[in-house]
Structure 1
Amino acid sequence: MFEPIRGGTRGGQAEFKWTDVSADKDRENYLGHSINAPTGRWQKNKDIHWYNRDVSAGEAERLEEIRKIKEAEAEALSAAL
């Protein structure tokens, strides 16, 4: 009645690579222009995920924030003592 569970991965998830998708000869037929499988010259050395990246704050802003936090911690510690 009960059979053992089949081993391995189903659907080939372990063997999937986006580079294979971009190199496939039929990619326009089933995938279109996927951002994860870019092909062509336009995206070479470009950050095509730019819209999804966090903009890092400047070093001066980061140091100023750390200074404010340390001041607030020192003030809270002196008030607690």
Structure 2
Amino acid sequence: MFEPIRGGTRGGQAEFKWSDVSADKDRENYLGHSINAPTGRWQKNKDVHWYNRDLKDSELQRLEEIRKVKEAEADALAVALCVIISIRKFQAVF
């Protein structure tokens, strides 16, 4: 009833490579294929991960932006619920 566990990985996770996906005829069936396995002339010399490489902003700037967004959301919620005591002067969030 209790047998020893087989070695290796199930599902081929150990052998998976995105380069193989880009060569596969059914690559559209893979979730994330357009980013992780780009094919065609459009992707040549392009940074397809540009949205994730924004290194100019510091952690403090990011936290300040999040604080402003949360503040604006709290103000909007207070106005919608008619419980606002004082409205802050509108500030640009972005």
TM-score of Structure 1 vs Structure 2, range by shorter chain: 0.5 to 0.7
CA distance in 2, matches of 1:31, 1:5: 29
Distance 2:26 2:52 in 1: 28
Going from structure 1 to structure 2, the CA distance change for 1:31 and 1:43 (only over 3 Å counts) comes to: same
Larger radius of gyration: 1
Cα-Cα RMSD: 1.9
Runs of 4+ in structure 1 over 6 Å off: none
Structure with larger RCO (C-alpha < 8 A, sep 6+): 1
Residue identity matched to 1:55: L
> Aligned ranges for residues 17-56 of structure 1 at < 5 Å?
17-28=17-28, 30-31=29-30, 34-56=34-56
Could you tell me which runs of 5 or more consecutive residues in structure 2 were left unpaired when the two chains were aligned. Answer: 58-94
Once the two structures are aligned, what percentage of the paired residues are identical? Answer: 86
Instruction: Say how many residue pairs are matched.
Output: 56
* TM-score of the two chains, using structure 2 as the length reference: 0.52
Q: Secondary structure at the match of 1:34?
A: helix
